[in-house]
Structure 1
Amino acid sequence: MLNPNDLYSCQAIVPMENTKIHSGSIFGTSIIQYSFQKYIDNQNLKNVLSYVLHCKHRIIIPNATNYSPGPNADKGYKDYPAIVTNSIQITVPEGAKVNLRQIFPKTLNSSVNTSLSQQTASTSSKSVQSTNGSNTSQSNTFGVNVSGGISSGFPDFSVGVNYSHGWDSGTSSSRTTGSDTSRQNGSSSDESMSIKDWNSYGYMDKDAEKPSWIWGQSYPWDVIQYNQSLGEHTISLPSFIKDRMVDGEQVLPPSQLSLFGVDFIMTAAWLISFPEGITSPDEVKLSHSMAYYTASHFIFSGTPAFELQEAATAEYDSPSLEMSTYALEPLHSGDAKNGAAVGFTVNPFIYPPTTHSSNFKIVSAANNLQVTGTGFDSSMTADFSCLPSLTVNFKVLDTTNDYALLFMSWIGANSSACKLTVTINTLYTLTGQSGRHRGAGRAEQRYPH
C-alpha cells in the first residue's frame, strides 16, 4: 500500500526529553508531520512563487502514576497532567514572506455546571453555584476529528454537532500539445482525539508567524484560571473548587484525561512567498517548544492540599527541509508526455548559476522533475574547473514498470566523451558516457525497481 500524502511529507517521532528539571527524563512522545505544496500566489494581480507548509503536531503524555482499578485507599492524587503548552517557530530563507493562515484548535471548551447545597441542624442553609460555559451535567465530552491532505488552497474548518475539523485534498492538471492528457489524484488521512474536562486556547504572535497553544484541565479544577500561589507549589483555591476535589476525608479524582493521560493534536498552515524570487536554497526549519505541568491534591495531616508543580520542558528542531523537493508532484507514467522534462535554455530557473562554483535549481513546468547542481556558468557550460555535479529529484508511484532517465549534453571542440557516474537513492551506482562526437550526445540509464 502506498499513501500519496507521504510523497509530500516529512515525519519525526521524538521522545519528549525534559530539559529543565530531572534533565534527561522522558515524559511523553511527539509525532510531528510536515507537508508541502507548491502554490502560485496570484493575489494583487501578481505571480509569486509560494509554498504551503502544513504542520501537524501530536503530543502524547501519559499519567506517570498508573491507574489501578478497583477499591482504592489512597488519600490523594499526585503528579497528574494539568497543563500542556506548545509553540512553533518557523525560520525561512532571507527575502521570504511568511503568513500564518490557519491554526487548529483556536478554542476548545469543555463546560460543566455544578451545584452544592449544605444544611445544618439549625436549619440555616448555604448554597454555592458555579457555571462554566454550556449547561451540562458533571462533564462534557466531545470528539475532535482531524483530517489532512494536500489541496490547492488552505484547510477549511467547520463546527458541527460533534466538533469536526477537516479538509479534502486533490490535485489536477491538464496539458495540451497537439493531444490532450489529464490526471487527477486525491488522498486524505484522519486522526481523532477526545476532549473531556479540558480546555484549549490557540493564539498567534504579533507578526502572525508563531502559533502557540495552551491546554489545561477545566474540571474539577480549572488550573489556568485558579493558579494563585501560596508558596513554592501550593495553590490557593476557592472553597467551591475544593469541595469538588475533597469531601471530608475522601479525596475525589481529577478529570479522566488527567487520570489516564492526554493525547492532543495541533495543526498550523503557513503561506511562504518569495516576491523577489529565490537566490538560495528554499529551505525552512521549525522549532517546537513544549512545557508540561503536573498537579496534585491530597490530604496532609487532616488538611486538604493543592499543588501545581514546576514545568518540565522539551524542545525539537526540525532538519532543514527543502520545500521545492517535498512539493514535487509524482510521475504518473513513464510516457514521454508526462511533462518530466527540463530544457535549461527554455524553462525559467528557480535560481540560476552565476559562476562555475555557484549552485542552481530548476523545476519542470509540470512540477515533477527538479534538477540542482554546481559546476556550470550562466549559459550552462562546464569548463571542469569545478567538477560538474547534478542532483535529479523525482517521485514514482508506479513500483512495477521501469523508468528511463535521459541526459543530453553538447560536447565542445577538442573534447572527449563525458563519463557519467550515477548514484540512485544512495543505493546503486552506474556509469555511462554521454557521446563520442562533437555536437549532441545522449546517455540513457534505465533503473529497474
Structure 2
Amino acid sequence: MKILVVGGGGREHAIVMKLAESPQVEALYCAPGNGGIAKYAKCFPVKATDIDGMVKLAKELAVDLVFVAPDDPLVLGMADAMQAEGFMTFGPKKNAAILEGSKVFSKELMQKYHIPTAEYRVFDKPQEAEAYLKEKNEYPTVIKADGLALGKGVVIAQNEQEAFDAIASIMEDKIFGESGSKVVIEEFLTGPEVSVLSFTDGKTVKPMVSSMDHKRALDGDQGLNTGGMGTVAPNPYYTPEIAQQCMDTIFLPTIRAMQEEGRPFTGCLYFGLMLTPKGPKVIEYNCRFGDPETQVVLPLLDTDLVDIMLAIWNGTLDQLDIQWKDGCAACVVMASGGYPKKYATGLPIAGLDENGQTANCFVYHAGTKLDGDTFLTAGGRVLGVTATAATLPEALDTAYAGVKTISFQDAHYRKDIGQRALKALS
C-alpha cells in the first residue's frame, strides 16, 4: 500500500514510524512533514489545511489511503473531499469532526445524551458572560473558546480579574479568531486526568492504552496551557474498573449519540477525562490522535496499524483483536524558549545523528526542518524524546537521559514529567 499522512508534527512522526513497521506498506508520504519525518517518509510542501492541494497530491502519488492526522483539516472536511475522489481515508468526516470543532456542540451532545461532564453555560456576548461570572462568583472556573485553538483555548481562571481578562482576550481581542465568537464557561473539576485514545468504526469502539498528558508549560503544573509538554503511558489512575465504567457511561454512549445524530464517527476518537469524586467525566473530545499522547501510545501497539485502519474502513472493527505490548512509555517535549508565547526559530539543534535520533530513545520531531545536514528548530514544540521500558521509572530515566544529549539555544522542557504517575504507583 502507498499511504499519505497529512500533517507535520510529532504525532505525524509517530504515525509514520508505526506505519513503517507494516509489511503491507510499500511507500510512505507525508505533507507537509518536517525535518525528522523526511528521514522516514517522502515529504511534500503542501499545507495540512490545503484541501485542494492535498487531493491533487494524493492523485499524483496514486496513494491507496490518506491518513488525515490533524484537527484543522478534519474539521474543514478533508476526509469528505478525499472520499469524494475515491480515496480510502482514516479520520472522521466534517459532520463528525465537529465533536472537537465546536465545544458548544460537544457540550450540548453530552447534555442531550446524559454523558457525564462538567456543568456549563454558553455565551456569545462578553457582557453576558461577565454578568454570569459575577453572579456565580465561584473560582477556579474554566473558560473555553468554542472552536479550535491549537490546544491553547482553555483558561483556568483563579479569580474574577483573570476570568474577565480571558473573556476579553477570547471574545473581544479575538486571539483565536472566529473560534472565540462563543465561549463555554464550566465548573472546575478536580481529580486525576486521563487521556484515552480509541479506534472506532462508528459502531464498535476499542480503547487504546491510557496515557497522562502534562498541559502546563512549567514544572508543578504552573504556567500557561500548551499543546502538551510530555506524556506517560499507561496511566496508573486508569484501573480496569474505571475503564469499564468509562466504556459503559462515556465511550459507547458517545459513539451511539453520534450515530443517532446522523454523524457516525470513524477513525480515532480521543476522550479527555477527569476522574472526579463523583466518577469519570468528559473534559474534552478530540477528533484525532492526541499530541503528544500518540508518541507514547503507538510505540506500545503490537497489532499492524494498517489492519486496524482497514477494519475501520470496512466496518469490521468488532472482528479484530487489537494487541498491546507490555511495558511503559514516556515522552519529554523539548520546546523553544518562550513557548507557548513568542519564540525564536531557525536555531541549530546539537546532539542528533544523521536521522535526527539519539541513543536509547526515539526522537519524534514536532517542529524541525533540515538545512543541509543540520536540523533547525521550526516551531514551539521542537522534539518529543521518547523511551519505552518494562517500568515507568526506567522509561522516564531513559527519556531524560536522552534529553540531556540534545541541545539548542533556550531549549525548555519540564523536569517533572511522570511524577504524578509515579506517586500513584507508590
- The verdict on a shared fold, with TM-score over 0.5 as the criterion, is no
**Shorter chain as normaliser: what TM range?**
under 0.3
Which one has the largest radius of gyration?
1
TM-score, length of structure 1 as denominator length: 0.19
TM-score, length-scaled by structure 2 = 0.20
Higher strand share: 1
More helix by share: 2
